[in-house]
Amino acid sequence: MKVYGDLRPPERLLLGAGPSNIDPRVLKAMTLPIVEHLDPYFSEVMNETVEMLRYAFKTENRVTFPISGTGSAGMESAICNVVEGGDEVVVCISGFFGERMSDMVQRCGGKSVEVRAPLGGVVEKDRVEEALANSNAKAVAIVHAETSTGVLQPLKEISKITHEYGALLIVDAVTSLGGCELLVDEWGIDICYSASQKCLGCPPGLAPITVSERAMNIIRNRRTKVQSWYFDISMIEKYWLESNRIYHHTAPIPLVYALREGLRLLHEEGLEDRWMRHKENMQLLVEGIEEIGLTIFTDKRYLCPAITAINIPENIGDERVRRILREEYNITISGGLGALKGKIWRIGLMGINSTRKNALLATEALKNALKKEGYCKNR
Q: Is 234 helix (H, G, I), strand (E, B) or coil?
A: helix
Residue 163 identity: H
How many alpha carbons lie under 13 Å from residue 226 in its C-beta half-sphere?
Answer: 21
Say whether pLDDT at 376 is over 90. no
- The CATH number linked to 311 is 3.90.1150.10
DSSP conformational letter for 19: P
State residue 169's pLDDT score.
Answer: 98
221 plus 132 within the same structural domain: yes
State the Cα angle at 306 between 61 and 177, rounded to 5°: 10
**Over the stretch 127-147, which tens digit does the pLDDT of each residue have?**
999 999 999 999 999 999 999
Say whether pLDDT at 120 is over 60. yes
Q: Distance between CA 151 and CA 297 in Å, rounded?
A: 9
Say whether pLDDT at 377 is over 80. no
Domain assignment of residue 14, yes or no:
no
Domain assignment of residue 72, yes or no:
yes
Band the pLDDT of 379: cuts 50, 70, 90.
very low
CB atoms under 10 Å from CB of 178, counted, come to: 29
How many structural domains comprise the chain? 2
Say whether pLDDT at 90 is over 80. yes
**Over the stretch 266-277, which tens digit does the pLDDT of each residue have?**
999 999 999 999
User: Where does a domain end: 240, 267, 294?
Assistant: 267
Helix, strand and coil percent figures for the chain, each rounded to 5: 40, 15, 40
Band the pLDDT of 215: cuts 50, 70, 90.
very high
Domain assignment of residue 351, yes or no:
yes
User: Where does a domain end: 267, 291, 325?
Assistant: 267
CB 174 within 8 A of CB 74: yes
Q: Is 335 helix (H, G, I), strand (E, B) or coil?
A: strand
State residue 349's pLDDT score.
Answer: 98
In the predicted model, what is the mean pLDDT of residues 54-82? 98
**Over the stretch 246-297, which tens digit does the pLDDT of each residue have?**
999 999 999 999 999 999 999 999 999 999 999 999 999 999 999 999 999 9
* End-to-end Cα separation, the chain, in angstroms: 57
Domain assignment of residue 16, yes or no:
no
244 plus 284 within the same structural domain: no
Domain assignment of residue 290, yes or no:
yes
State residue 257's pLDDT score.
Answer: 98
147 plus 285 within the same structural domain: no
243 plus 345 within the same structural domain: no
Percent of the chain residues topping a pLDDT of 70:
99
Band the pLDDT of 243: cuts 50, 70, 90.
confident
In the predicted model, what is the mean pLDDT of residues 109-136? 97
State residue 378's pLDDT score.
Answer: 57
Q: Distance between CA 337 and CA 234 in Å, rounded?
A: 34
Question: From residue 252, how far is each of 34, 49, 65, 257 by CA, in Å?
Answer: 10, 13, 13, 9
State residue 115's pLDDT score.
Answer: 98
User: Where does a domain end: 217, 232, 267?
Assistant: 267
245 plus 358 within the same structural domain: no
Q: How high does pLDDT run on average in the chain?
A: 96
**Over the stretch 315-365, which tens digit does the pLDDT of each residue have?**
999 999 999 999 999 999 999 999 999 999 999 999 999 999 999 999 999
pTM for this prediction: 0.96
CB 357 within 8 A of CB 136: no
Percent of the chain residues topping a pLDDT of 90:
96
38 plus 68 within the same structural domain: yes
- Structural domain boundaries enclosing 309: 271-372
Q: Is 32 helix (H, G, I), strand (E, B) or coil?
A: coil
State residue 374's pLDDT score.
Answer: 85
In the predicted model, what is the mean pLDDT of residues 21-37? 96
